[in-house]
Structure 1
């Protein structure tokens, strides 16, 4: 892993002073609080929102609308909300949906109404806003509509899943991004300036420290404080750092947005025939604590949907991997699932049978109760035979080439084509067989 030396001039929205030229600060409190930006220009990261043409910069030219800030932990949602209140001249009130009840909200709204009567607006920042239920979310609407509050909600969950439509229609959703390694280096430089000393880390260890924070600025500053507190007199390398600090657990919610994003990444990597990427996303989900049985089921679905008849063995291999996991358990059984993922990624791909099935289901719903033609109806009784059930049926095994070419669709229905094999894998052979049947049907005039 190459160590990346990053200078402050790589950033458009902030500047870092050299740590060696800045005396240590005597301000009390955690490093994260001491480094809280005093203006939007000091915020690290989120250039797509806070840059010269960023969405928030444009919004501040007029009346600030209600917002939902969606992003991972430690990227500045609370800080941005405070700074927006300062820029817009609004009184800042912060609550958490975890600790706030209906009575608390009523008091907040009443105080905001009083401020408004005195000419002072209120920016109400609601942390973890997705924790409020639908009725509580609806309670904000009248106060947003009459201008009593400007709502800024913060959430780590996908708002389209967690917030109701009425609230979403009255607020703009802004997506905040996890901090990059460049952002983390700038934040480290600022921390060193505040502490008045460089961290006792060599280049690779410095990069590992930033990676340990996993895009979370608050987590990085906590790690920096720990390292600075060691009082090391010689440089710490990456192995010593890893021994002293525990890597932060990856962000993964087995029932949230991250879950669906990662399984989508795994599925698309398999579909895209990239075994290394597929293994990476599989490992990310397993490391996050995903149930291997869920992965075994989804991997089997990939075989059905994306490999299909191009490799008929694929589905069986997935089922064997699933059964192997059930017999071996974790962690040995997870290797069987990894084997299946690799097989699928390298298998020939076809969604022809998947597409054919969906098309047939669609038309079956449209044609209603059209009966089969008389010659292929069941005729268990004499009365039914007298009515013509089964009359004229040609038994294919009695034909010279084992193919009668009769029509098996409802009378009067135009013959559809659902299944179009691809020219890959075993499905190439199926395509040749299908072509022969089509040709014979046309020759016999019974297509």
Structure 2
């Protein structure tokens, strides 16, 4: 009788425990269904992750009559020369692949003097690359061309700075000294503004932004860098400014002339220090990278500075979900953006457009209340500045063939339901074992 009484008590206890577990599961499900208002990563940190969503493409063109040694050199030198870079190489036989979309990038003059090469940016513009010279061996010319594509003095300086700092304001000087001086003052002022608010960021960044200046003497040596920004090195007639961060990513538009103001630059720079769960278009979180080589030494330094390795597969998966959750256009973004449609086994079409805002919602949505108050005090304002209308100077897109890089995306409700069920099963199992063990002892 006593054993039956004790067993009944255990059963009553078990029912009560199960009831508590059900209540707990409901509460957990409610909490999981609430939107997450904070993210463990910032835009600055996400910028160091390479999800290979958008890469540069280098197409090498040959024909049936091309010497086999040249074809072999194309393959071997491209493999060695483009390692650890964000450029994907592909050989196209113009006689056998006449319907290849990249054939549209090859002009008539190049087609008559194969082998040839064309570099294509994720933003759509293309650039013929010289791979043959009459007085140089093909292998030597090809290696030199690859090195020019991946490296230049200013890009090396930018890479060094973005690893250690908040980001870089790249100022490309024009022929007018007064315009250059005005642009440089605006860039210096915005760097001072960001520096004064570094302690208010969601997560600390050790060093503030820095200014990198490209004078007219450097323009010709930076042809690839300027091309990746949508500029022709022969047509720099006024100052230009771009913001670069993370893994040498260009974020926002290319400001030119009178558009280079403290407010316009600040609107982009404040995005970098923001929480990544702010609903921005994914191009804000994964801006176009400059063509460059990213070495293991650089990656190790970034991991040391951030306190985690951005190349860790689990971190990359988490960040890919973050980017996908913010992959719609942010309302009222005051800068140029691109809508990207990706269809399996088809070409990627990039359509570029520009929005003209009526107010400045980006900076308002990103800055904390303290940052807004401090910025208003420093600028002598009672309300946030309105952004001047800007236009994105990136060139018209061209049709290109890019293999889609799908990212794992799990819907938030389904993920929450799975977490709840797994947690509930684990709790029921633990308590069930405990109850059975207790009943057995009695």
TM-score (norm 2): 0.23
Q: Please state which structure has a larger fraction of its residues in strand.
A: 2
* Structure with higher RCO (Cα < 8 A, 6+ apart): 2
Structure (1 or 2) with the larger CA radius of gyration? 1
TM-score, L = length of structure 1: 0.23
Instruction: Indicate the structure with greater helix content.
Output: 1
